Amino acid sequence: MEKEEVKLLGFWISPFVQRVKWALKLKGVDFEYVEQDIINKSPLLLELNPVYKKVPVLVHNGKVIAESTIILEYIDETWKNNPSLLPHDPYQRSLARFWADFSENTLIKLAVEALVTKGEQQEKAVRSTMEAIDKLEQGLKGRQFFGGDSIGYLDLVLGWISYFLPAWEELGSMKILDSSKFPAFTQWIDDFLSHPVIKNDLPPPRDEIKVYFVEISRKIAPLFQKIE
């Protein structure tokens, strides 16, 4: 049988890329990783993702798939071996997609606001981030992973929290991941990071994440300035 072409265009610190790498590894799919410069974009990236011009991009036997959550679904439907990433039950599947959307469109924005702002605005953003995490805490109770006994789609989508948020807490001098308030969620972080597949492909160390986000915070802070 001919070897499959599986290529992933990525960027070293991208949480969107990281979740795709983890999904491929969980499924045992061999792939070639091609690092991209997301500022000076390569002709390959522009050709493969002309709409958003972003990573990750997955190429599977000449077919091009963009947008990380869509790539996760493609991986799950293409390599049907265990672990299944999305639940089989349509309602459970819709819930996983709902909370994934919540992570992408609500939680991450609140956490970034908490990271880059100060004073009252930061306090408010920290409170809102904690309220958002509390919703996940309630959804997790009684389960080790959002996917149940194994890591699934929602765990991968939320994975960024496990390594970015502790770094952001240090940078923003704030506390969000309080284990007395979020016992299930903080346990989830420990279990997620110590899972054999995740542990063998950990994102960059905390110091590198912090250095990267000092620069990013400086650039994006003006976007969060409230006009009086």
Main-chain dihedrals φ then ψ at residue 60, nearest 5 degrees: -125, 110
First and final C-alpha spacing in the chain = 65
What single-letter DSSP state applies at residue 39?
A: S
For the packed helices 119-140 and 90-102, what is the interaxial angle rounded to 10 degrees? 170
Smallest gap from Cβ 86 to ligand GSH, in A, equals: 16
Q: Could you tell me how many residues of this chain bind ligand GSH (CB under 6 A)? A: 11
Asked if 153 is part of the footprint of ligand GSH (rule: CB under 6 A), the reply reads no
Smallest gap from Cβ 31 to ligand GSH, in A, equals: 16
Task: Count the neighbouring beta carbons within 10 Å of the beta carbon of residue 180.
Answer: 6
Considering only residues 8, 9, 14, 136, which one is a binding residue for ligand GSH as defined by CB under 6 A?
Answer: 14
Asked if 27 is part of the footprint of ligand GSH (rule: CB under 6 A), the reply reads no
**Pick from 177, 201, 158: which is nearest to 15 by CA?**
158
Listed ranges 11-19, 164-172, 193-201, 206-214: which one lies at the site for ligand GSH (CB under 6 A): 11-19
Smallest gap from Cβ 55 to ligand GSH, in A, equals: 4
Using the minimum distance from each CB to ligand GSH, give the nearer residue, 10 or 147. Answer: 10
Asked if 38 is part of the footprint of ligand GSH (rule: CB under 6 A), the reply reads yes
Asked if 21 is part of the footprint of ligand GSH (rule: CB under 6 A), the reply reads no
Beta bridge partners, 60, equal 6, 63
Smallest gap from Cβ 180 to ligand GSH, in A, equals: 32
- Please answer whether residues 42 and 36 qualify as being in contact, where contact means their C-beta atoms are separated by less than 8 angstroms: yes
Smallest gap from Cβ 22 to ligand GSH, in A, equals: 14
Smallest gap from Cβ 37 to ligand GSH, in A, equals: 10
Using the minimum distance from each CB to ligand GSH, give the nearer residue, 56 or 172. Answer: 56
Strand order through the sheet with 63-66: 32-35, 6-10, 57-60, 63-66
Sign of CA dihedral 103, 152, 162, 41: negative
Using the minimum distance from each CB to ligand GSH, give the nearer residue, 65 or 132. Answer: 65
Using the minimum distance from each CB to ligand GSH, give the nearer residue, 48 or 126. Answer: 48
Integer Cα distance of 150 and 196 in angstroms: 12
Residues 53-112 binding ligand GSH (CB under 6 A) are: 53-56, 67-69
For every residue of 60-92, DSSP letters joined together read ETTEEEESHHHHHHHHHHHS-SSSPSS-SSHHH
Chain contacts with ligand GSH (rule: CB under 6 A): 11, 14, 16, 38, 53-56, 67-69
